[in-house]
Amino acid sequence: MLGSCYQTLAISIMLYLKCTNEVQKTIGLKKANLAAASSSEAALGNWYINRFVIGRTNIFIFMSDVTLLSFILFQGKKPVTAERLPNMMLGGLDQLLKMRSFSDLSIHKALEPYTVGLFAKTDSRSDLGSLNDLINCYRDMIEFEGGLDNCNLTSIIMKVNDMPQRKLNWRTSWDATTQRLLGH
């Protein structure tokens, strides 16, 4: 897992967690600590992270920049820090792929490149637009199901990733993720 080595090491596949200004402030990242992101050779690419609030609950959204695969995690009682955020992303992605019944080999293919990485600022208005659209989808579905206390969050995450996306030529995030992990 990334943990504290999530700084400046270089390997053939580098993960960039592209944090919005809101996330940068929340976890205490200084502009000087942000790298200029480049594209990733990893199957699921780099990841965008934003934060939004429903009621009094802070929610982090994670989105792959190549498949638009997304999931949300609640902040909980412990504050989210620069040290904890990468492991939150990896744990959430692992859990999401298991819930979708991907094989252990496919999950390993998804997670294995993400051993070292850097924090970066967001660098694509198009990707930010997709991220904000996803936030609105999550917020609307949660509210439609009666709020955080009453909704089936797993079902909502699965439905959001099963919506056709214009940026993916009307494929779903699940379709794009399956193609990248399984090659079909």
pLDDT score recorded for residue 146: 95
- Per-residue tokens: 6: 């999530």
pLDDT of residue 40: 87
Q: How far apart, in whole angstroms, are the C-alpha atoms of residue 178 and residue 64?
A: 13
Q: What was the pLDDT predicted at 184?
A: 55
- Mind listing the domains of the chain with CATH numbers? 3-182 (3.30.420)
State the pLDDT at residue 126: 94
Q: Is the pTM of this model over 0.85?
A: yes
Cα 176–Cα 157–Cα 141 angle in degrees, nearest 5: 125
H-helix or E-strand spanning residue 16? strand 15-19
Strand 57-64 and strand 70-74: pairing? antiparallel
Mark the ranges of the chain whose per-residue pLDDT is less than 70: 1-12, 184
The predicted structure's pLDDT at residue 183: 77
User: What pLDDT is attached to residue 4?
Assistant: 40
pLDDT score of 173 = 98
Q: What is the C-alpha to C-alpha distance for residues 184 and 178, in angstroms, rounded to an integer?
A: 7
- Residues present in the chain in total: 184
Which token pair is 161?
């990733």
